[in-house]
Amino acid sequence: MTRVIVCDTGPLLHLSEAGAIDLLSLVGDILIPTLVAIEFESNAQGWRPPQWVKVVELESSARQKAEKWTKANQIDAGEAEAINLALQVKADWLLTDDAKARQLAESMGLEVHGSIGILLWTVAAGNIRDKSLAFNLLDNLANSSLWISERVLQEGRKAIDALFE
């Protein structure tokens, strides 16, 4: 059974900048709302989402809920649409690197992962078999527009070490 995953702009952008966007194709079927496609294209220096990323329209009730969250300054519009799309399609995972979006999505029962989680998942699943490649991809993420604390970076390195033991 293929995993259904909804992604917001952050992981698409950060994994692209890190040269690791193809990792997403290994995880499952990637869906994004239209606004995320627009945000990605405007922030990714002319890149477009890969062909295996499917753009899905929100139903009107989901769009209204997303607009309500955005107007209330709960989260940004792309994250709001991604959460509502994940709920709409009953996604297995939501991918976001935004802390507020993660908290809101988890409060609604969604399983949430971020860019580093995708890297670690692909290592754990055996899709990355070269430890130095895994460390390089983690370093590339740290050098992308994704803000990663030193503590999280060290935890990521420890996790990679443990996965290769």
Closest residue by Cα to residue 7 from 30, 34, 28, 27: 30
Task: Name the pTM for this structure.
Answer: 0.93
- Say which CATH class 4-115 falls into: alpha beta
Per-residue pLDDT, 88 = 96
Model pLDDT, residue 74: 83
Alpha-carbon dihedral of residues 130, 136, 141, 142, nearest 10 degrees? 140
What's the pLDDT score for residue 4? 97
Averaged pLDDT, groups of 10, the chain, 165 residues long: 92 94 94 92 78 93 92 91 97 96 95 96 96 97 94 96 94
pLDDT at 2: 85
Q: In whole angstroms, what is the distance from residue 123 CA to residue 131 CA?
A: 9
How far is it, in rounded angstroms, from Cα 43 to Cα 45?
Answer: 6
Could you tell me where in the chain the CATH 3.40.50.1010 domains are found? 4-115
